[in-house]
Structure 1
Amino acid sequence: MAKTLKYRKNQRNNSRSSGQQDRVVNQFVDPRDFDKPRTNPVPKKLEARTEAQGQYLSAMMSADLIFGVGPAGTGKTYVAGAWAADQLADRLYDRIIITRPAVETGSPMGFLPGELEEKYAPFLEPFKQVMIERMGRGAYECALKNERISPQPLAYMRGATFKNAIVILDEAQNTTPEEMKMFLTRIGEDCIVIVNGDIQQIDIKGASGLVDALNRVSHLDQVRVVEFTEDDIVRSGLVKAILKAYRNP
């Protein structure tokens, strides 16, 4: 699998550094994939704003399972969503699967009207804007329609196998150890799994699946752990000050 990842890294770098003619061609999405042209210009190359973000991007190009752990506002979700959208737009993977535990600040998801996709959509808002920014609205909407971008509740993943996909588990600190084990054992061929979380914001009772997984698998080959700190916060200086205030009341 490492050989495949190296090939994909070269493919992605080549696609981002090609000449103007290639950029003009790449402004349009392959109709076999999304059926609609991009509705915005090809985005600029994704660049890290902090050292930790740079390590995170490097890990995505070299590992099969990546943990991004740290406080809110450090860009974990943004970087993962942007990188995944670029890979899908460049047709290096078939699908993006996005999931998160059905817990919101300590409460279960509960009843929401509509189909499963509509019920789960509010939990995927953090990824929507960055993916539209990277892919264009038309391509994003077609990818959703064709299930190339697929929001899936964590509880519905038992028995599934991830293949040729980028899978993002957000808010992973709110998984149980059993849920995390179930999720991680879905990994199949040509699959990149990105797990984001903040172990200081655990909203469930009992053990956290993220903490448990870090203790169990962080030493394995093809697993990378990138730790973000308050110094990596890029959302705003106020967020950094608020986090410090809550840490030291």
Structure 2
Amino acid sequence: MPATEPKPVTVLLHLHEQLGSADLQQLCGPDNRNIKRIEDRYRVRLLGQPGHWQVDGERAEAAAQAVRRLQAQLVLHGELSEVDIEGVLKDDAVTADDTAAGSDVMIAGRRHIVGKTPNQRAYLKAIRNKTLTLAVGPAGSGKTYLAVAAAVAAMSSNRVERIILTRPAVEAGERLGFLPGDMQQKVDPYLRPLFDALADMLGVERMSGLLEQGKIEIAPLAYMRGRTLNDAFIILDEAQNTTREQMKMFLTRLGFGACMVVTGDVTQVDLPRHQHSGLLHALQVLENVPDIGICRLAAGDVVRHRLVEQIVNAYEADEHE
């Protein structure tokens, strides 16, 4: 029998009166850019006036649900960011009702954070439920930003007394001794992504105040030796650039009432060839240890510019070949 052609589907989409003209304009985007992205993503057409559309295409219901989710994001947060839009387009598993209800929304300073993909939501769940979480994934998959958000939320709710963020100061073949400036000036560029994430959630003024009070500490990994970290949320970022010895040293800093997250991209190890990555080793050694969560994010979890995901996929394909 010849294959039957899929029937065209039409969905009438009428948004609630909660959105004024300015909100509708933000929902649609400049020159209807957001609507065009939904049309391209689901291969549908949205016909009619803004807020009152006829959605035509095989995936009309999924496209309408995406628009409803964007509306719910806009009502809940008062704005739509590029990350919000990209997250909605990547994940069909969340409904508009989930978004409107603030399902799994984490309040981190001035930001409302939610996992944009199933893997990101599993990652946040692991951080909530496990004492130690190891997360690996490519650039843009949210492993560092979400960990910092969880740390800010934990301190804001008084579950921990302070946040400690650290990184190994080894990247792209450079060594601190060859960089200009004193130790602080040498180290700052390596820790800048952590400063940026904190500033985004807390604002520069509040972040600076918490740094001065010692409520937030950002330091190179070498500064962790010999310490025991109690009642703290501790994050080790770029952990693929730790040696086995450094990783063991760091993990054994864990104290009472503390939570620890280790993040890294195992495809971008900058250690000398004769040294093995402590993160890769830890993933093998700790896989079956209770109260440790291991999360693997992928190119599909990249919520940055769409080109970033395509770049990650291209490099992965080249490595497989």
Q: TM-score range by the shorter chain?
A: 0.7 to 0.9
Matched with 2:197 is: 130
Contact 2:109-2:152 within 8 A present in 1 as well: no
Q: 1:161 to 1:42 in 2, by over 3 A?
A: closer
Matched with 1:229 is: 298
The TM-score normalised by the length of structure 2 is: 0.61
Matched with 2:236 is: 169
Could you tell me how far 1:125 is from its partner in structure 2?
A: 1.7
Matched with 2:115 is: 48
Q: Which structure 2 residues correspond to residues 70-85 of structure 1 after superposition, within 5 A?
A: 70-85=137-152
Contact 2:240-2:280 within 8 A present in 1 as well: yes
Instruction: Establish whether residue 219 from structure 1 lines up as the match of residue 304 from structure 2.
Output: no
Contact 1:230-1:240 within 8 A present in 2 as well: yes
Matching residue within 244, 264, 269 for 1:202:
269
Matched with 1:64 is: 131
Q: Which structure 2 residues correspond to residues 70-109 of structure 1 after superposition, within 5 A?
A: 70-109=137-176
CA distance in 2, matches of 1:100, 1:65: 17
Could you tell me how far 1:86 is from its partner in structure 2?
A: 2.1
CA distance in 2, matches of 1:133, 1:102: 23
Could you tell me how far 1:121 is from its partner in structure 2?
A: 2.0
Amino acid in structure 2 at the alignment position of 1:169: L
The TM-score normalised by the length of structure 1 is: 0.78
Instruction: Quote the RMSD (CA, aligned, Å).
Output: 1.9
Q: 1:111 to 1:165 in 2, by over 3 A?
A: farther
CA distance in 2, matches of 1:238, 1:182: 37
- Which has the greater radius of gyration? 2
CA distance in 2, matches of 1:160, 1:108: 24
CA distance in 2, matches of 1:93, 1:139: 18
Contact 2:137-2:297 within 8 A present in 1 as well: yes
Amino acid in structure 1 at the alignment position of 2:295: V
CA distance in 1, matches of 2:316, 2:266: 13
Matched with 2:219 is: 152
Per-residue CA deviation, residues 34-62 of structure 1 (Å, 9 max, x unaligned), is xxxxxxx9634321111111011111111
Contact 1:180-1:209 within 8 A present in 2 as well: yes
Instruction: Establish whether residue 181 from structure 1 lines up as the match of residue 264 from structure 2.
Output: no
Per-residue CA deviation, residues 182-230 of structure 1 (Å, 9 max, x unaligned), is 1111111011110001111111122110011111112111100011011
Q: Which moved more, 1:71-80 or 1:128-137?
A: 128-137
Could you tell me how far 1:81 is from its partner in structure 2?
A: 1.1
Q: 1:147 to 1:116 in 2, by over 3 A?
A: farther
CA distance in 1, matches of 2:216, 2:311: 34
Aligned-residue identity in percent: 41
CA distance in 2, matches of 1:129, 1:93: 21
Contact 1:120-1:151 within 8 A present in 2 as well: no
SS at match of 1:110: helix
Amino acid in structure 2 at the alignment position of 1:207: H
Q: 5+ unaligned residues in a row in structure 1: which ranges?
A: 1-40
Q: 1:115 to 1:88 in 2, by over 3 A?
A: farther
